[in-house]
Amino acid sequence: MAKLIYKKAGNIELIRRSDNVRLLSVGVVESIEPSISRKSSTLPDGNSDWDMEFSNGMEGQVVVNLSTFQPKLYAGLAGATYTENSSYAIRHITTRGVPAASPFTVDVSDEGTPLADPVPVVHNAADSPYVKVSASPAAGQFAVSGSVFTFCSANANEEVTLAFNVTTTADKMELPSESNRPVFEMIIAGKAVLADDEGTSKADTMVFDSVAVSGDLKPPTRKREPVGWNFTMKILKPRAGRKPVDYRVEK
């Protein structure tokens, strides 16, 4: 077998065992890290400083690091239902300033048109709520018409936080109250270059017959600096007549 150098992360394909749903568009892959280790157990030797050690199986995992978040992939790994391109309400929370001069209105058309149900809410900088009225708000009150929030002159120049729902075409993930861990067949497909000839590439494929999510399954941390996310697939006992790992590389 050729001596290889990996210069690209490769791509992954997941096939869910329960319904043969295929997850192929996983986003931007940063790295894929397969690892296999041999488990052992020891018995003491009363005549030696060294214990006797015996092999008692193997275990392995594949850590996938991604630079972009793919909600559909996350839902599939979590055993959640995923619905695409339907009409759903999305919550918007935005902080604005009431104008210092008339009209004392805040237009949120850049966010969308607030729904009447649930009722939009407004809080001041001290997190105290304003009261919604149908029209002509007094101090500490607000009214909504379309995408425009109207306030009283007594609240001019105040900072307010508005929360409301907007209907839009969206995708939705729902995690059931009880769910079983999905099992997948996992395929890693990529290319490597020859160690002694960088201009020659070789395609390779690594197939894991049965894998399932292990450990924490977390979406990316939300913060100012963009970050990726990762998940770990534990290698499970293969199906009858199959191997746990099948690796092939182009000659």
Quick check: 183 pLDDT over 80? yes
Quick check: 27 pLDDT over 90? yes
In the predicted model, what is the mean pLDDT of residues 132-137? 96
Quick check: 8 pLDDT over 90? yes
Quick check: 1 pLDDT over 70? no
* pTM of the model as a whole: 0.86
Nearest to 215 by CA among 11, 77, 81: 77
Quick check: 99 pLDDT over 70? yes
* Predicted local distance difference test score (pLDDT) of residue 176: 85
Quick check: 207 pLDDT over 70? yes
* Predicted local distance difference test score (pLDDT) of residue 163: 98
pLDDT band at 178 (very low <50, low <70, confident <90, very high): confident
Quick check: 68 pLDDT over 90? yes
pLDDT band at 132 (very low <50, low <70, confident <90, very high): very high
Instruction: Write out the DSSP string of 86-99.
Output: EEEEEEEEEEEE--
